[in-house]
Amino acid sequence: MNKPENDLLNSEICVINVGLQQFAESLAEQSVEVAHVNWEPPAELDPELEQILEELL
Amino acid sequence: MKSRITVRPREYHDSVRLMQVSAQVRRLDGVEEAILMMATDTNKKLLATAGLSSMEVQEAARDDLVIGIIARNADGAENAMTRAVDLLRSRTPDLRAVQQMSLGAAVAAMPDATLALISIPGEYAVEETRKALRAGLNVMLFSDNVSLDDEIRLKQLAEQRGLLLMGPDCGTAIIGGNGLGFANEVRSGTVGIVGASGTGIQEIAVQLHLHGLGISHALGTGGRDLSASVGGLTMLRGIDMLAADPDTDAIVLTSKPPDREVAACIIERASACGKPVVVNFLGGDSGAATRAGLVAAHTLSGAAKRTVRLLRPNGRTAPDSAWSDSELRHRVNDVAGLLSPKQVYLRGLFTGGTLCHEAMHVLHDYIGPVYSNIASQSGYHLGDCSRSCEHTLIDMGDDLFTRGRPHPMIDPELRNRRLLQEAGEPDVAVLLLDLVLGYGSHKDPAAGLAETVRDARTRAAQDGRYLVVISSVCGTEQDPQGLARQKRLLADEGVVLAASNAEASRLAGMIIRTAAGRTVEGTSR
């Protein structure tokens, strides 16, 4: 059996919510530490420009 | 009537927020209809059905916002449009979370973050998930409409990094007593769940709670995890994590029918994990689990019951059913006697995909195969999901119904509309429903459902028909909606309430079988 190194289940949960704001509200209601990302669809870039950005980042 | 349609290019709002603003604008005096939606193909069709289409809407892109208003007069339409835009502009002051502009900024501001919960449209969710995994975060990927290839690549990336990726299409998780996505407020305890199905996890967790047990953690995998292509990567990792977790004494595994080889692999891992394991693979082969020394269960509530017996071999448990056998027989006969000879069909409308699957399996023993949009049996897959055929069960949370609009557990409107449609069919005898409470779900789902049932039964009565409506309610008294109140609203409209989805399905099957027997007997005379 693989020994999991992941300590998600043994530590205080702390969440970054990307998407439905309602889910961040539900977590806050349960006193979970949560950050909500005001996500928006990325602008559709010129493929050449996108390639340059991809390489830069 | 005056209609006004505005397309706002590249203005994004999440589907729940748009649903909430639509409802607020619809309540304004003189407004007949208000629809705010992103311009996806499905939504364009919905707008057209509501009489809110235009060339501009047809040409709009999926990241454009459409606001459509129908009002009694031009002033009303104009006012409603202004109000809609104002409401969208106003930031919600009640959000008690730190707000960030991007995942990267959030990671920088919150270095202790352990998990990202991602629920943006599927086509964008893959990239955000990749970013989150690369930043060392476990991920719950709620979004659906993610390709199988992307799922495999993301799960392999998670494996390489020792992270847990729950999803895509993972509706439910509970970590250390905290519900993520759709989750009920259940007691903390020693049972761990790994489920390839959101409402499957919810039903088991709620049934365990009702029997007096509690949950350590519940991990979702997404519905395709146990397919041959994905190979159960998340379920295997989940089993390992729960096996190593000191707070977990027993493990429950649940899934829709898995691939045979993947099931064997899961069973092998589970039997070596060192803790008692209950396996509920709906419609799967239970023999393999039993031979491996695991406990097999055929239904979700059955899985809960068997877990209780494992952990409390001499203890008392809550009764399985709301009724004794004789009460059930009387109830079935009484209700079947109210149906006309033409009423022979069952229609099931589910907000929970796994509850729909479970109903299909339970009903098979009573009325044979049924048509469904999620049927795997050849010949029973519903081609056109807008029309039912003979006995039909519809999973209203299927990808088909959720592109660009909230899941039906958040926005029950499509289910309510479909309920009226089914109730109008003269050969329909029984409507089988689910109602799922908890965090993430609609704040008062029984209110709208009760109103719809009242309309449906009134219309049926006008045609001289009695309509049987059966539902289970998956929830606890501690859920934000409150179980007792939700049940009372449905019971007041004559909805027959069962103790579990399996029991609701059994009751529906018995009524249909009894009614069919009576019809056959009647026509043979």
Domain ranges (residues) in chain B = 2-89, 103-311, 325-524
Q: Which two tokens stand for residue B504?
A: 């609701």
Determine the pLDDT at residue B42.
Answer: 81
Instruction: Supply the mean pLDDT for chain A.
Output: 81
Q: Which of A12-16, A31-35, B3-7, B329-333 has the lowest mean pLDDT?
A: B329-333
Decide: helix, strand or coil at residue B50.
coil
Domain boundaries, chain A: 12-40
Give me the pLDDT at residue A4, please. Answer: 44
Does the fold of domain B325-524 match that of domain B103-311? yes
A16 contacts chain B (CB < 8 A): yes
Sheet holding B115-118, edge to edge: B98-100, A33-37, A14-18, B115-118, B138-141, B165-166
- Distance between CA B362 and CA B456 in Å, rounded? 26
How close does chain B come to A3, measured CA to CA in Å?
7
CATH of domain B2-89: 3.30.70
Residue B329: what pLDDT?
85
Gap from A51 CA to chain B (nearest CA, Å):
15
pLDDT at B524: 31
pLDDT at A57: 55
Give Rg (Cα) of chain B. 24
Q: Which residues of A touch B128 (CB under 8 A)?
A: 18, 39
- pLDDT, one tens digit per residue, over B286-344 is 889 999 999 999 999 999 999 999 998 877 666 667 777 788 888 898 889 899 999 99
In angstroms, the CA B407 to CA B16 distance is: 9
- Each residue of B219-230: pLDDT tens digit? 999 999 999 999
A48 touches chain B (CB under 8 A): no
Contacts of B268 in chain A (CB under 8 A): none
What dotted CATH number matches B103-311?
Answer: 3.40.50.261
Distance CA B206, CA B472 (A): 12
Check whether A49 has a pLDDT greater than 90: no
CB B219 within 8 A of CB B200: no
Q: pLDDT at position B320, please?
A: 64
pLDDT computed for residue B519 by the predictor: 47
**For B113, which of A16, A23, A24 is closest by C-beta distance?**
A16
Show the low-confidence residues of chain B (pLDDT under 50).
519-525
Domain B325-524 superfamily per CATH: Succinyl-CoA synthetase domains (3.40.50.261)
Q: Which of B59, B175, B131 minimizes the C-alpha distance to A27?
A: B175
Confidence of residue A44 (pLDDT cuts 50, 70, 90): low
Nearest by CB: A13 against B128, B162, B175:
B175
- The mean per-residue pLDDT over the stretch A19-48 comes to 86
DSSP secondary structure letters along B63-108: TSEEEEEEESSHHHHHHHHHHHHHHHHS--TT--SEEESSHHHHHH
Give the contacts of A31 (CB within 8 A, at least 6 positions apart).
Answer: none
**What is the predicted ipTM?**
0.86
pLDDT digits (tens, 9 = 90+) for B437-490: 999 999 999 999 999 999 999 999 999 999 999 999 999 999 999 999 999 999
pLDDT given for residue B522 in this prediction:
34
How much of chain A is in helix, strand and coil states, percent to nearest 5?
40, 20, 45
Cβ within 8 Å of residue B421, ≥6 positions away: none
Angstrom distance (rounded) from CA B313 to CA B513: 36
Whole-number Å distance between alpha carbons of B66 and B60: 8
Q: How many whole angstroms separate alpha carbon B281 and alpha carbon B288?
A: 11
Tell me if chain B has a CB within 8 Å of the CB of A33.
yes
B189 touches B215 (CB < 8 A): yes
pLDDT band at A6 (very low <50, low <70, confident <90, very high): confident
Residue B476 · residue B209 · CB < 8 Å: yes
Judge whether A50 is closer than 8 Å to chain B, CB to CB: no
Q: Containing H/E element for B232?
A: none
